[in-house]
């Protein structure tokens, strides 16, 4: 049976403008083995944060039962979360969903991990695990602006890392697709997470390659019961086929669902 648990915050800090890194621990962490899965957080018990917030697993220390999440302070939920301090608890449900398939890339092959903004975090745990399996990892990380860049150092320690900003204030200027082109990056598998326009662009260009994308959708339950997070299936003529981002995803192979 799936469990929920109160995880205890061990550290929380701002690592870039409005980007928080929170680490917490508890026995639930033992189950967090799959990169790309997400945790469903109940920020506090007040009635006005009714819905849980989906946040990706960014890193896990299984031995110390400790998990790290990175999140952007957006609205009410993430803002209240950011006020929590060491010793406070978070009600965590998960890990939920289907993550990135590690087995899609063999030892010795090259994986290109492409992240945009707050889609970057799950790629870190993915990269660590791919590398452990002997996969060669390359990262392309896109951000809005210099002040939003995070985890460049952490990714660099695992493999080549290219940072690109939309306004050119850090790294190269433009989009992740520009970098992949310019640097002529080659790969066997591409894994990506980020804003839908980015995923759509990658899907168009690399639709015939081994590409896995992680989607975002507003969620109700997060467990597959409410049908809030559905998307259409590519090539479905009846129009009634669907996938749920929360349980069938968030990671899908390119070409499976309509973006």
Partner 1 sequence: MNRLQVELPGLSMRNPIMPASGCFGFGKEYAKYYDLGILGAIAIKATTDQPRFGNPTPRVAETSAGMLNAIGLQNPGLEGVLTNELPWLHQYDVPIVANVAGTEIADYIETTAKLSKAENVHAIELNISCPNVKQGGIAFGTIPHVAAELTKEVKNVSDVPVYVKLSPNVADIVEIARAVEKAGADGLSMINTLLGMRIDLKRRKPILSNGYGGLSGPAIKPVAIRMIHQVSQAVDIPIIGMGGIYTAEDVVEFMLAGASAIAVGTANFTDPFVCPTIIEELPALLDELEVDHVQDLIGGSWKQCNVHS
Ligand X SMILES: Cc1cc2nc3c(=O)[nH]c(=O)nc-3n(C[C@H](O)[C@H](O)[C@H](O)COP(=O)(O)OP(=O)(O)OC[C@H]3O[C@@H](n4cnc5c(N)ncnc54)[C@H](O)[C@@H]3O)c2cc1C
> What are the residues binding ligand X (CB under 6 A)?
38, 51, 53-56, 69-72, 74-78, 118, 121, 216-218, 250
- Residue of 36, 117, 142, 222 that binds ligand FES (CB under 6 A): 222
Q: Which is nearer to its own copies, 48 or 208 (CB)?
A: 48
Q: Please give the radius of gyration of the chain, using alpha carbons only, rounded to the nearest integer.
A: 18
Q: List binders of ligand FMN among 176-235 (CB under 6 A).
A: 220, 226
Tell which positions 26-65 bind its own copies, by CB under 8 A.
Answer: 44, 46-49
Considering only 14, 86, 168, 227, the residue that binds ligand FES (CB under 6 A) is 227
CB of 94 or CB of 171, closer to ligand X: 94
Binding residues for partner 1, per CB under 8 A?
1-2, 4, 42, 47-52, 76, 93, 217-232, 238-240, 242, 247
* Phi, psi angles (nearest 5°) of residue 79: -70, -45
228 lines the binding site for ligand FES (CB under 6 A): yes
Residue (12 or 214) nearer to ligand FES, CB: 214
Q: What is the dihedral of CA 101, 105, 106, 112, to 10 degrees?
A: -140
**Which is nearer to its own copies, 68 or 78 (by Cβ)?**
78
**With contact defined as beta carbons under 8 Å apart, do 89 and 9 qualify?**
yes
Q: Report the interface residues with its own copies, using CB under 8 A.
A: 44, 46-49
């Amino acid at each position: 049976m799936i469990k929920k648990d109160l995880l205890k915050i061990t550290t929380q800090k701002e690592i870039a403008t409005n980007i928080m890194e929170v680490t917490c621990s508890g026995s639930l962490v033992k189950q967090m083995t799959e990169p790309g899965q997400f945790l469903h957080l109940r920020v506090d018990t007040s009635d006005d944060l009714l819905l849980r917030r989906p946040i990706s697993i960014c890193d896990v220390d299984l031995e110390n039962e400790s998990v790290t999440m990175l999140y952007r302070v957006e609205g009410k939920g993430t803002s209240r979360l950011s006020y929590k301090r060491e010793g406070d608890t978070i009600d965590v449900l998960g890990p939920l969903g289907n993550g990135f398939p590690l087995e899609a890339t063999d030892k010795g092959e090259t994986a290109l991990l492409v992240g945009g903004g707050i889609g970057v975090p799950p790629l870190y745990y993915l990269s660590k695990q791919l590398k452990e399996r002997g996969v060669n990892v390359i990262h392309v990380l896109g951000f809005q602006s210099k002040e939003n860049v995070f985890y460049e150092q952490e990714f660099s320690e695992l493999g080549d890392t290219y940072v690109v900003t939309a306004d050119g204030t850090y790294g190269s200027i433009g989009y992740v697709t520009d970098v992949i082109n310019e640097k002529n990056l080659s790969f066997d598998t591409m894994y990506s997470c980020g804003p839908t326009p980015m995923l759509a662009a990658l899907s168009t260009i690399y639709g015939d390659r081994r590409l896995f994308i992680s989607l975002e959708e507003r969620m109700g339950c997060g467990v597959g019961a409410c049908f809030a997070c559905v998307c259409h299936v590519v090539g479905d003529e009846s129009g009634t086929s669907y996938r749920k981002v929360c349980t069938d995803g968030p990671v899908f192979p390119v070409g499976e669902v309509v973006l």
